[in-house]
Chains A and B, each alone.
Chain A
Amino acid sequence: GENVEQHPSTLSVQEGDSAVIKCTYSDSASNYFPWYKQELGKGPQLIIDIRSNVGEKKDQRIAVTLNKTAKHFSLHITETQPEDSAVYFCAASFMDNNDMRFGAGTRLTVKP
């Protein structure tokens, strides 16, 4: 089955700086790569996703890049704010989100 690795496990940045989280996946058949944000005591929430027919997607301060050849994808958050502090998960799946596998998570702390 699919195996997703995520780095780093913790990340601390100063407010206004950029944050980058990286993931690799093992199954070349995977074609859907979402990112989730989990705040304390809540379930994960989808913040951005990318499909394998595109290399980059942006939504305001967040962007995701995908390199299918190398089987890795990254989350970029620019101009970080304290409310960006949370645990972020990457995930990968094949065909309409079935059997999605998650990375171990990155705890992002944005210091004011």
Chain B
Amino acid sequence: NAGVTQTPKFQVLKTGQSMTLQCAQDMNHEYMSWYRQDPGMGLRLIHYSVGAGITDQGEVPNGYNVSRSTTEDFPLRLLSAAPSQTSVYFCASSDTRGYTFGSGTRLTVV
């Protein structure tokens, strides 16, 4: 099925650990983005990419890195996890018809 695939669905990290959240899309969209969702705060943009090799920061980029080596993949890296990064993370890809979101990764940092 066409869409956005995120892995893993759930993850528990210890403070200071690093990890990569994976995101892949098969719709050949140029634009991809990462959001975090926290209660009462909606979706906040972390990083986005307008095409392979091009990334930029969103509202809340600190503590996260991204890269875009292919059109299909847009991984999000947490370099040194902190409890403040406990959240649900959504990857999205889009074209002029709108955004398609993945099903999310629920991350807990203890």
Contact = CB atoms under 8 A, between A and B. Distances in A.
Partners in one complex: yes
Nearest to A105: B42
Interface residues of A, number: 24
B17 to A, nearest CB: 25
Nearest to A96: B96
Interface of B: 4, 31, 33, 35, 40-45, 48, 50, 58-59, 90, 92, 94-96, 98-104
Contacts of A103: 42
Nearest to B6: A43
Contacts, number: 61
Interface in A27-64: 34, 36, 41-46, 49
A97 B90 contact: no
Contact of A43 (B41, B48, B94, B102): B102
A17 interface: no
Contacts of A22: none
A53 to B, nearest CB: 14
Given A43-B101, A43-B103, A105-B42, A98 B48 contact: yes
A104 B39 CA distance: 8
Nearest to A48: B98
A16 B48 CA distance: 40
